[in-house]
Amino acid sequence: MNFNLSPLSDDLPWHEKQWQVLRACVTKDRFPHALLLHGPMGVGKRIFAQRVAATLLCSQLTDSITPCGQCQSCHLLGTSVHPDFFLLEPEEGTSTIKIDQVRMLAERVTLTGQFGDRRMVVVDPVDGMTLGAANGFLKILEEPPAGVVFLLLSSRPGRLLATIKSRCVTLPFPIPPDNLAASWLASRVEGSPEVSLSLSLGAPLQALAIQSGQEDLIALRQKMIKELYSVVSGNGSPVNVSNLWSKMALMDVLAKIISWLADIIRVKMYLPDEKLINKDVVGELKSLSRFFDLPTLFRLRDTAQQLSADSQATNLNQATILADFLCTIRALSSR
């Protein structure tokens, strides 16, 4: 996701605590050699990492410990060609980081820095490595070259090798408070932040993408609710629908289902429509509510939450998990 937020632009307002931690490290000149930034997608981990890299590479840090924006290092980072900054991410058109990429990184980071001793490596996402790549990367972390700082980004830290995780200092990036995210969004893009934040489950950068029309999640949500209705009403096949949905990350699909179930529970409890999160699909949610009683809805929500927690660690086929869950939903409905 590119929002023209360069490493030299302002800090995101919900990153204040994380910055306090890092600036304290810089002040004491004791920076961990590997930092694991973990939290949901769309909270700005990558922007934070780029800005940390800019801070540690800047040769004229300001008193407030922010990059000066003037030195050669800052200029080079602004144009993405800094010789001491390495970004390891899946190559275009692929979804995993491969062993060859890790080998190339290993060669390059052992060379001395061009501007000083410090070199920065950002890995995004560190949980997206093949097993071979992860083992290769572990070797680099076990004997890190002097002066290299690794910033490892993950929205699924449960999938990381425990041996990689144990070599990192972890820094969590939770979903920010709604009011903070909403006022930030309102200052950047027109329209009401409420719907986009509900669609993005509170992740501000994803909400920004939705609101600026980069992601048509509203249409996607309406389509998915219709597909769920077809399964519950007995017209659609759980296997076909799960095949469609398994093209998305399992966590994201489950998060949507949990949010719908929470709203259907609100409908069942006679809460007014404005208390619902998914306001644009109220009609569909009400139709779905007729198929379930409250104890069943609570049970389904618990199951979805459990599946979501397990999905961090499991290697089971996503489509199978979703098909099983859709079969359960259908079996527990009263048609």
Residue span 10-39 as binding mask against Zn ion, x where in contact by CB under 5 A, dash where not: ------------------------------
Integer Rg of the chain from CA: 22
Site residues for Zn ion, window 142-171 (CB under 5 A)?
none
Q: Contact between 140 and Zn ion (CB under 5 A)? A: no
- C-beta of 66 vs 305, nearer to Zn ion: 66
Binding window for Zn ion (CB under 5 A); candidates: 6-14, 58-66, 109-117, 144-152: 58-66
Residue 65 to residues 61, 108, 178, 248: CA-CA distances in angstroms? 6, 28, 28, 39
Instruction: State in angstroms the smallest separation of the CB of 84 from Zn ion.
Output: 13
Beta bridge partners of 148: 119
Q: Which is nearer to Zn ion, 58 or 126 (CB)?
A: 58
Smallest separation (angstroms) from Zn ion to the CB of 69: 6
Question: Judged by CB, which is closer to Zn ion: 19, or 298?
Answer: 19
37: helix, coil or strand?
strand
**Closer CB to Zn ion, 51 or 159, in the complex:** 51
Q: Which is nearer to Zn ion, 74 or 185 (CB)?
A: 74
Closest CA to 239 of 329, 316, 324: 324
CA separation, residue 335 to residues 16, 229, 295, 331 (Å)? 51, 12, 16, 9
- Range 250-255 contact pairs with CB under 8 angstroms and sequence separation of 24 or more: 250/307, 250/308, 250/311, 250/318, 250/321, 250/322, 251/155, 251/156, 251/308, 251/311, 251/312, 252/41, 253/322, 254/304, 254/307, 254/308, 254/311, 255/201, 255/308
Residue with the two structure tokens 């961990």: 32
> Per CB under 5 A, which region of 55-63, 164-172, 279-287, 302-310 contacts Zn ion?
55-63
Q: Which is nearer to Zn ion, 151 or 224 (CB)?
A: 151
Tell me, rounded to whole angstroms, the distance of Cα 335 from its chain centroid: 37
Least CB distance from residue 10 to Zn ion, whole Å? 15
Least distance between Zn ion and beta carbon 104 (Å): 27
Interface residues for Zn ion in 71-130 (CB under 5 A)?
71, 74
Shortest approach of Zn ion to residue 40 CB, angstroms?
Answer: 31
- The single residue among 58, 133, 258, 323 that binds Zn ion, judged by CB under 5 A, is 58
Question: Minimal distance in Å, beta carbon 180 to Zn ion?
Answer: 28
Q: Which of residues 59-78 bind Zn ion (CB under 5 A)?
A: 67-68, 71, 74
Round to whole Å and give the CA distance between 284 and 237.
18
* Complex with Zn ion: residue 74 or 253, whichever CB lies closer: 74
Residue 43 identity:
V
Q: How far is the CB of 58 from Zn ion (least distance, A)?
A: 3
Is 74 or 254 the residue whose CB approaches Zn ion more closely?
Answer: 74
Beta-carbon count within 10 A of 85 CB: 22
d(CA 35, CA 16): 17
SS3 content of the chain, % helix, strand, coil (to 5): 55, 10, 35
Which residues in this chain contact Zn ion in the complex, by CB under 5 A?
58, 67-68, 71, 74
